[in-house]
Structure 1
Amino acid sequence: MIFIVFRLDARPDKRDDFLDGIVRYSEQVRAEPGNLVFSCYESVERANEFTVLANYVDQAAGEAHVSSEHAKWFFGWLPSVVTEQPKIVFTELPGEGWGPMGEVVMDQREA
């Protein structure tokens, strides 16, 4: 599984443009074959700080994503709505996706 997290700061004066663009892009990415997760979250401590989480089944799916027309649009558009170059973590992990968190045991009576 490919695991990608990137963090960015949206320009305050471009916040609405950023939100419109990331919603559009998220829908396109989620429709890609091999995409497991694509979500964007805003920090609860810092306005306009966003973290994007993306997972792909394998390297081939990730490469197909990067070469897609919507990814090319996103990479070209993003500098117009952020304050600086986004920071990224990209790694390949063993396994086929998300698993249960062993430290948290759910009480079946409340589930």
Structure 2
Amino acid sequence: MIFIVVKFTPKPEHVENFPNLVADFTNATRAEPGNMFYEWSRSLENPSEYVLVEGFRDGAAGGEHVNSEHFKTFVAAAPDFLASTPLIISHEIDATGWSEMGEIKV
């Protein structure tokens, strides 16, 4: 699986409506056949920062994502509403999805 975490900092005037700005892109990405999850969160430490956690089946699926029209459209539009270049960690891991945490059982 390709596991990716990206931190986005919108411009101050776009912080509150950021989820709406990325909604079409999010929905299109979630509909991709190789997408396993695509989840946005807002940072507790910095409420102006949004964190995206995404997983793709493999490198081919990740490649299809970055070559998609909705990705290209998002990349072209993002500088208009972002305050800084997003920070990313992208790594191939040996997993097929989420697993239960071994240290906590409920």
Question: With structure 1 as the length reference, what TM-score do the two structures score?
Answer: 0.89
**In structure 1, what is the equivalent of residue 15 of structure 2?**
15
CA offset at residue 88 of structure 1?
A: 0.2
Cα deviation 1:48-102 (Å, max 9, x = unaligned):
2110011001000000000000000111111111111000000000121111111
**Root mean square deviation, CA, Å:** 1.2
- Structure 1 ranges of 4+ moved more than 3 A: none
Number of residues of Structure 1 aligned to a counterpart in Structure 2: 106
Cα separation, 1, equivalents of 2:17 and 2:99: 35
Give the whole-Å Cα distance in 2 for the aligned partners of 1:79 and 1:57: 28
Q: Return the offset for 1:18.
A: 2.7
Q: Which residue pairs with 2:85 in the alignment? A: 85
Aligned to 1:101: 101
CA contact (8 A) 1:17 1:81 kept: no
Give distance in 1, aligned partners of 2:54 and 2:43. 17
For normalisation by structure 2, the TM-score amounts to 0.93
Conservation of the 8 A alpha-carbon contact between 1:5 and 1:53: yes
Percent identical pairs in the alignment equals: 34
